[in-house]
Amino acid sequence: MDQRFASSLDGEPSNTRALSRRRLLGAATTLLLLPVIPRIAMAAQLLAVRTWPADEYTRVTLELDSELRAEHFTLENPHRMVVDIQGMDVNPALNELVRKVRPDDPYIQSLRVAQNRSNVVRIVFDLKQAIAPQVFTLKPVGNYKYRLVLDLYPKNAQDPLAALLKKNPQKMEEDPLARILEDIGRNPKGTGRATMPVIPNSVAPPIEAKIAPQPNNRRGRTITIALDPGHGGEDPGAIGKGGTYEKNVVLAIAQKLKARIDATPGMRAYLTRDGDYFVPLHVRVEKARRVKADLFVSIHADAFVRPTAGGSSVYVLSERGASSTSASWLAQKENAADLIGGVNLNVQNQNIVKILLDLSTSAQIKDSTNLAMRMLDELKNVYRLHKPQVESAGFAVLKAPDMPSILVETAFISNPEEERMLRSQAAQDKFAQALHSGINRFFAANPHLIASR
């Protein structure tokens, strides 16, 4: 066939088709040799900014729609912290972070935000004191998306026991240990002679001595009660349908209970948190042990899937599993507080793990049950009980092996009627009164626990 009449399937002559093929191959080769230009990454969207200032530390949280990397360093003269956040551009939402700095924040004086370079935002914190920062990210959990967390701890952290003594100067004279520690504080390097106080013989009464069952401790040693208001800060706890946060209600009850305990001769209270900030579960236990607490009382406001559930409950630690399905469900929910509140797993160590995994002795659980029974007796006088008996489950916050520990669920915040009650200051005071009476009854019936500590 004459090539002039030969054609391809698209109607082109064969020689034209061959030329087109060569051009196509050449163009493809050229494309392969060209550099690949990546698609411009979209900057992360800032969803919310939050700050939680407290004496112990200040937390700053940036919630975003994607995970980011951050680098940080500190500077002196004056004290500053610089944080570079990658994958982010300056936007109006960051101005909200500037406005959230409170004048009474013990660590942050002010902060500045600027675009350091393409896709990198720099935040400069002007500080009031030297800090030991922790910067970490959290993956989505609960209602939160990705979070970048900046925890500003003091470089020289105050010991919880020293803080407790500082807040309770009126208890110093009746507590020999407090006076010893005060003298050590005045003479940290042994440059002077500390006066050793005379410890009354009544601190360790003879076995045959008969002690009258009374709430007041007159044996020369101050009883320390660790009060643990659940949740706080990033972790609101249960939220009622009326918008009531568990963390606020239980803090109010704990503060009222603390006032009653501090007004009782021979007693003082220590709060594991005294404001709206997050405290990890193991830190709550550790703080109670550092102040040599005689009791640990964790205060909560229950929640359940059924809004009709109600009443007060008291829980102790279980070594053999939960006493009921609801107890198991509640323990799992409370133990997940660290996930919600946000714990920096990079600073976990074997001592912390040991505290959480160390099983309490049977004697501790026995004393805890004894305390819990007295609490139930008092709570039923101010409100109805959810169950008439003490319940048990594997609560991480109750795993202190050397002190009786209980968890009190004052009422169900998921019950609309009880939510309204929990908001009432009168009801909060009644719960505080009941818990105070239970503590007094417990020590009156168990004076040996005071002497043994």
Q: Which CATH number is 127's domain given?
A: 2.60.40.3500
Better-predicted residue by pLDDT, 245 or 96: 245
Better-predicted residue by pLDDT, 306 or 409: 409
Residue 450 has pLDDT above 80, yes or no: no
Residue 172 lies in a domain: yes
**Same domain, residue pair 139 and 186:** no
Residue 22 lies in a domain: no
pLDDT in tens, 162-218: 777 776 666 555 555 555 455 544 454 444 433 333 323 333 333 333 333 444 454
Predicted local distance difference test score (pLDDT) of residue 362: 75
**Whole-number Å distance between alpha carbons of 424 and 244:** 11
Q: How confident is the model at residue 398 (pLDDT cuts 50, 70, 90)?
A: confident
**Same domain, residue pair 237 and 148:** no
Sheet hosting strand 131-138, strand order edge to edge: 46-52, 58-64, 146-154, 131-138
Predicted local distance difference test score (pLDDT) of residue 203: 31
3-state secondary structure of 170: helix
Q: How confident is the model at residue 354 (pLDDT cuts 50, 70, 90)?
A: low
Q: How far is CA 133 from CA 123, 159, 340, 346, in A?
A: 14, 18, 20, 13
Residue 19 lies in a domain: no
Residue 51 has pLDDT above 60, yes or no: yes
Average pLDDT of every residue of the chain = 79
Domain of 233, CATH number, reads: 3.40.630.40
Number of H helices, E strands in the chain: 13, 14
Residue 380 has pLDDT above 80, yes or no: yes
**Same domain, residue pair 308 and 366:** yes
Q: What percent of the chain has pLDDT over 90?
A: 48
* E strand residue ranges, 356-424: 391-393, 405-412
Domain end residue (candidates: 199, 219, 253): 199
Ranked by mean pLDDT, which of 31-35, 83-87, 246-250, 301-305 comes out on top?
246-250
Predicted local distance difference test score (pLDDT) of residue 15: 53
**Same domain, residue pair 148 and 195:** no
Q: How confident is the model at residue 407 (pLDDT cuts 50, 70, 90)?
A: very high
Residue 39 lies in a domain: no
Q: Which domain holds residue 266?
A: 208-452
Sheet hosting strand 108-117, strand order edge to edge: 69-75, 80-86, 120-127, 108-117
Q: Total domain count for the chain? A: 3
What is the phi/psi pair of residue 192, to 5°?
Answer: -145, 170
Predicted local distance difference test score (pLDDT) of residue 363: 77
Residue 223 has pLDDT above 80, yes or no: yes
**Same domain, residue pair 184 and 239:** no
Contact 235, 248 (CB under 8 A): no
Residue 7 lies in a domain: no
What is the number of other CB atoms lying within 10 angstroms of the CB of residue 110? 13
Residue 41 lies in a domain: no
Residue 136 has pLDDT above 80, yes or no: yes
What is the number of other CB atoms lying within 10 angstroms of the CB of residue 153? 15
**Whole-number Å distance between alpha carbons of 93 and 80:** 22
Enter the pTM of the model: 0.77
255-284 exposure pattern, b = at least 16 Cβ within 10 A, e = fewer: bbbbebbbebebbbbbbbbbebbbbbbbbb
**Whole-number Å distance between alpha carbons of 81 and 61:** 15
Mean pLDDT over 444-450 rounds to: 81
Residue with tokens 């700095």: 101
**Whole-number Å distance between alpha carbons of 166 and 172:** 9
Residue 10 lies in a domain: no
Predicted local distance difference test score (pLDDT) of residue 32: 46
Domain end residue (candidates: 154, 170, 191): 154
Query: Which residues, 6+ apart, have CB-to-CB distance to 232 below 8 Å?
Result: 247, 251, 273, 275, 276, 277, 278, 279, 341
**Same domain, residue pair 274 and 392:** yes
Predicted local distance difference test score (pLDDT) of residue 327: 77
Better-predicted residue by pLDDT, 414 or 185: 414
What is the phi/psi pair of residue 43, to 5°?
Answer: -65, 145
pLDDT in tens, 355-376: 554 545 677 888 999 999 999 9
CA 305, chain centre distance (Å):
24
pLDDT in tens, 282-338: 899 999 999 999 999 999 998 887 888 899 999 998 877 677 777 787 888 888 888
Residue 9 lies in a domain: no
**Same domain, residue pair 389 and 364:** yes
Predicted local distance difference test score (pLDDT) of residue 171: 56
3-state secondary structure of 78: coil
**Same domain, residue pair 259 and 405:** yes
Element (H, E) at 109: strand 108-117
Domain end residue (candidates: 154, 182, 217): 154
**Same domain, residue pair 116 and 189:** no
pLDDT in tens, 229-262: 999 999 999 999 999 999 999 999 999 999 999 9
**Same domain, residue pair 106 and 187:** no
Contact 57, 151 (CB under 8 A): yes
DSSP class of residue 141 equals: B
Residue 20 has pLDDT above 70, yes or no: no
Mean pLDDT over 99-114 rounds to: 93
Residue 154 has pLDDT above 60, yes or no: yes
Q: What percent of the chain has pLDDT over 70?
A: 74
**Whole-number Å distance between alpha carbons of 174 and 197:** 11
CA angle 429/283/181 to nearest 5° reads: 85
